[in-house]
Amino acid sequence: MAFTTIFTRLNVLLTVLLFNTAFFSALFGSILVYRLYQHALCEFDGPRLAAASKLWHFGHMFRVSNHLFLDGLTKKYGKIIRTGPQELTVTDPEVWEAVNKPGSLCIKSPWYDMLWPYVALNSIRSKEGYATRRKRWDDALRISNANLADKKRLIDSAAAQLLRRIEASLGQPFDATAEFYNFSFDLMGEIAFGQSFSLLDSQSYFSQNSPPDLISQGMSMLRYFTPVPWVGRLSFFMAPYFPIITQKWNRALDWAAKVCDSRLQRGVECQESTDAFSRFILSAARDGDRQSLDRQALYGDAFAITVAGSHSTAATLTMMFFELARHPSIQLRVRQELRIAGATIQQSNHNSAQEIIDTSVFDRVPFLDGCITETLRLYPVVPTGGIRQTVNKAVKVGDKWIPPHTVIVIPRWSIGRSDYAFDMPNDFVPERWTVKSHMVHDVRAYNGFGAGRWICPGKQLGMMEIRVLATMVLLNYEFSLASTPRNETRVVDDFQDNFTATPGKLELMFKPIIHLG
Ligand code: HEM
């Protein structure tokens, strides 16, 4: 009797198993056949397995950073590659105009849902709700005549602190990557939240669990999740059951939420003119814009501004100083240009640095600006991110039509280094942006701050931070690469594409410039 029952149950189990195997094989088999032979993207070349599933791309992220992986594919397959069942990677410079211009129907891709339940400015995917919030942030972050002095004072004072750190390091290698992160993080804290994190005050360098480290660790998760945002979303959803997978990400988000809470607790009325958050909140409250004042929206914005306002500037400074350190003649030319432009220094007291550099100097330093642009061309702060998608209409790029509902990946890293757009594409040649413009064949291939609707709202601010710090350092010190192990290439070898760029460690040796008279 018992034997018959077991036998019957086994039979039922086998039948269910057989039925499921048949059902799922047919389902996945037909999906596979459709993706490989019937899909609208079949006309585009690319790796066969990429067309079958994004898991193929995901697998590669465990051994190579996405910017190099996509660069390899670009070299092999050309300007438009099928990198997923429903995804194209496009390196034709025309693509930016097609997806970003004001009338374009393209929206941000599902990647931007990664922050959910937070809804940051940059994670609003469609036009609805974006324009008003964007205008508020533009106003809050803008450098205007009214707040120029405030912003300049903060930047000068952070730059002066960094100079003191350099002074203290003389004779030994200076961890430039860590210190540029400290610099931009302290500034971002002051400018965005009216709160310094005092990283440049403290004795510790870029220590474990310091805010920049916390945020970098959180962002490092995006290295794996960017090609497959649904794996990211699934992992975040499962976080309560498997906290280990996403804990770095969640710690970074929690940190930004706490900074936001602390800003709100301090009240915003008294600091109207100084920090961006208070200006944003006051303007939203004045207009009764409840959507912008929603706590999940504010937490999202706090995280976005923290990352965008610090990592971008820090990465640009690191890579620019790396290039200037290994090209002493270029370093000398920038220094000479600054002197001719009238930039002067006050040696005795770096605290009063706000008197040192008059911002009008920056109208007369095209070569310094060329160095910044050249750095962003070679080492974009968003190397492959900024993913878009078409909606219900095809979009033309070059002579190709990108079908509706296609995800479009646009790797700045590869476009910026393309030989059809630039002469000597892998070399650092700032003159191509000044007197050697013939070395730029297609200026659209440069996209350092984004363009169109989603152009960076912190562009002016970021530029000012870099110009001020670079000027103060260049006028006070000569610098070269420290001769520590791997230091010649480590900053590039360890460069990671975590949506924002994370450069490797760079150590510099500084030597004071003696000023006569
Ligand atoms: C050298 C400095 C900087 C560079 C190179 C840079 C670059 C960029 C780029 C390329 C994007 C577009 C990303 C995309 O397509 O999704 C972007 C967006 C953004 N940036 Fe910057 N950025 C810099 C500094 C800053 C600063 C200082 C802030 C604020 C304090 C800031 C705030 C933002 C925000 C909020 C966005 C999202 C805009 C949106 O989607 O509407 N950035 N930035």
Tens of pLDDT, residue by residue over 244-292, are: 778 899 999 999 999 999 998 887 765 455 789 999 999 999 999 998 9
Report the nearest atom of ligand 1 relative to the CA of 188: 30
Judged by average pLDDT, the poorest of 88-92, 212-216, 432-436, 480-484 is 212-216
Per-residue model confidence (pLDDT) at position 515? 72
ipTM metric:
0.98
**Residue nearest atom 37 in ligand 1 by C-alpha distance:** 122
Report the nearest atom of ligand 1 relative to the CA of 412: 10
**Residue nearest atom 35 in ligand 1 by C-alpha distance:** 305
Closest to 250 (Cα-Cα) out of 117, 65, 110: 117
Are residues 380 and 416 in contact, defined by beta-carbon separation less than 8 angstroms?
yes
Q: What is the DSSP letter of 34?
A: I
Q: Is the pLDDT of residue 3 over 70?
A: no
Phi and psi, residue 507, nearest 5°: -115, 130
- If one residue of 143, 447, 456 were mutated to test the ligand 1 pocket, choosing by the most ligand atoms within 8 A of its CB, it would be 456
**Residue nearest atom 39 in ligand 1 by C-alpha distance:** 122
pLDDT single digits (tens) 289-317: 998 999 999 999 999 999 999 999 999 99
Per-residue model confidence (pLDDT) at position 8? 84
Residue spans of alpha helices (H) in 170-274: 176-188, 211-220, 222-225, 229-237, 243-265
pTM of the model: 0.93
pLDDT single digits (tens) 96-153: 999 988 888 899 999 999 988 899 999 998 877 898 999 999 999 888 777 777 888 8
Q: Find all residues with CB under 8 Å of 321, minimum gap 6, and list them.
A: 176, 180, 473, 479, 506, 508
Tell me the mean pLDDT in the region 321-350. Answer: 87
Q: How far does the centroid of ligand 1 lie from the alpha carbon of residue 376, in Å?
A: 12
Per-residue model confidence (pLDDT) at position 452? 87
Are residues 49 and 56 in contact, defined by beta-carbon separation less than 8 angstroms?
yes
What percentage of residues in the chain have a pLDDT greater than 70?
94
Are residues 433 and 369 in contact, defined by beta-carbon separation less than 8 angstroms?
yes
Closest to 308 (Cα-Cα) out of 462, 419, 446, 469: 462
> Which carries the bigger pLDDT value, residue 194 or residue 5?
194
Per-residue model confidence (pLDDT) at position 273? 55
Q: What is the mean pLDDT of the chain?
A: 91
Closest to 315 (Cα-Cα) out of 363, 401, 269, 376: 376
- To 10 degrees, the CA torsion angle through 386, 389, 395, 397? 30
492 vs 496: CA distance, rounded Å: 9
Closest to 201 (Cα-Cα) out of 217, 191, 190: 190
Q: What string of DSSP letters covers 80-109?
A: EEEEETTEEEE--THHHHHHHSTT---EE-
Closest to 88 (Cα-Cα) out of 451, 468, 473, 387: 387
Judged by average pLDDT, the poorest of 274-278, 462-466, 499-503, 510-514 is 274-278
The one-letter amino acid at 85: P
Ligand 1 pocket: which residues have CB below 6 Å? 121-122, 134, 141, 188, 192, 304-305, 308-309, 312-313, 316, 376, 381-382, 385-386, 448-450, 454, 456-458, 461-462, 466
Q: How far does the centroid of ligand 1 lie from the alpha carbon of residue 456, in Å?
A: 4
Q: How far does the centroid of ligand 1 lie from the alpha carbon of residue 482, in Å?
A: 31
The encoded tokens of residue 489 equal: 């290439």
- Chain centroid offset of residue 88 CA: 21
For 262-301, strand residue ranges (E) read none
Q: Find all residues with CB under 8 Å of 386, minimum gap 6, and list them.
A: 410, 412, 450, 454
Report the nearest atom of ligand 1 relative to the CA of 134: 41
158 vs 74: CA distance, rounded Å: 41
Q: Which residues are annotated as a binding site?
A: 456
